[in-house]
Amino acid sequence: MSRTATYHTTVRWKGEHWGHLVMGNGPEMDFSAPPDAHGHADVFTPEDAFVAAANTCVMMMFIWATERFKLKLLSYECRTEGTKLIELDRTEIFTRLHFRPVIRVAADGDSPSVVEARVRRALQSAQKYSLVANSVKSEIVVDPEIVIEP
Amino acid sequence: MPEYLETTVDKFIFRVATDRVYSPEGVWALAEGSRVRVGITDFLQQRNGDVAFVHMKPIGTKLAVGDEFAELETIKATVSFFAPVRGTVVEVNTDLELSPEVVNQEPYGKGWLAVMEATDLEADRAKLLDPQAYLSAMRSQAEEELKKQ
């Protein structure tokens, strides 16, 4: 098993505060900065990309974890918020990523407390093994709402 | 509380308890009279990832050296472990059914897997590795893994 893998994206300037992004996995789209950073509304931004990278990666890892932990997942939705800090020297950093997943699983014959404990372990594993979450230096906070359906 | 040998490979610290012996594959065996408590090493638990389920051969199962006695399903893999001595399973760690993560948290303590009544403990134990020998073998294995690119 190879211990490294590479992923790539390509960006091209389109003029003014616009760019075009081609992702290694196929999709491409225009992007800008957020309106409060001299960009445009309603388009993809680096800030969204950063938060989305963590959010999507943790979700995909959680889906994998539910399979390994034999959980019957009914639904998963997660709003994740990234907090940007503007430092004294005007550099900026995402200090915190706050995940609020709402997770519904079927008890499937097990007691709700046992299932909830497995969901929490699966979430911890998802965070631990998420490539992106594991790569960022922001604090990561996960506040799940777990619903066990009988 | 056992004492530990410790080695660092890359950014990982692996501990080896000094009060027991080891199979080359990383199953430890701790003599308790004619019985042997068995479990997996710190290296194996770190290498295989967060444990989701532990399956063990039932009490009464007779095992030869090298027979599978436990299977761990982790977040990354399903891994079998093999008996380090001959004997009969007389106890399994039922706490792991609800708390399999203890294998990761305390591999040399509460994360033990089974107790065997050994058939010929002295003869089998002589073929296992002492802590220093296991530490060296494990370190070589870890370094070999690091070289794979």
This model of the complex carries an ipTM of 0.85
Torsion of CA B89, B95, B100, B102, to 10 degrees: -100
Q: Between chains, do B146 and A121 touch, taking CB under 8 Å as contact?
A: no
CB A79 within 8 A of CB A100: yes
Question: CA B16, CA B36: separation in Å to the nearest integer?
Answer: 17
Q: Looking at the partner chain, which of A1, A70, A121 has a beta carbon nearest the beta carbon of B148?
A: A1
Is B12's Cβ below 8 Å from some Cβ in A?
Answer: no
- Confidence band, pLDDT 50/70/90 cuts, at residue B69: very high
Residue of chain A with shortest Cα separation from B74: A68
- Considering chain B, what percentage of its residues have pLDDT values greater than 70? 99
Residue B52: list chain A partners with CB under 8 A.
68-70, 118, 121, 125
Q: What is the mean pLDDT of residues A43-54?
A: 98
**pTM score, two decimals?**
0.90
Q: What is the mean pLDDT of chain A?
A: 96
pLDDT at A1: 61
Q: Predicted confidence band at A142 (pLDDT cuts at 50, 70, 90)? A: very high
Average pLDDT value for residue range B86-97? 97
Q: How many CA atoms lie within 13 A of B81 on its CB side?
A: 29
Judge whether B10 is closer than 8 Å to chain A, CB to CB.
no
pLDDT at residue B67 greater than cutoff 70: yes
Distance CA A20, CA B88 (A): 66
Distance from CA of B85 to the nearest CA of A (A): 30
Asked if B41 and B48 count as a contact pair (C-beta separation under 8 A), the reply is no
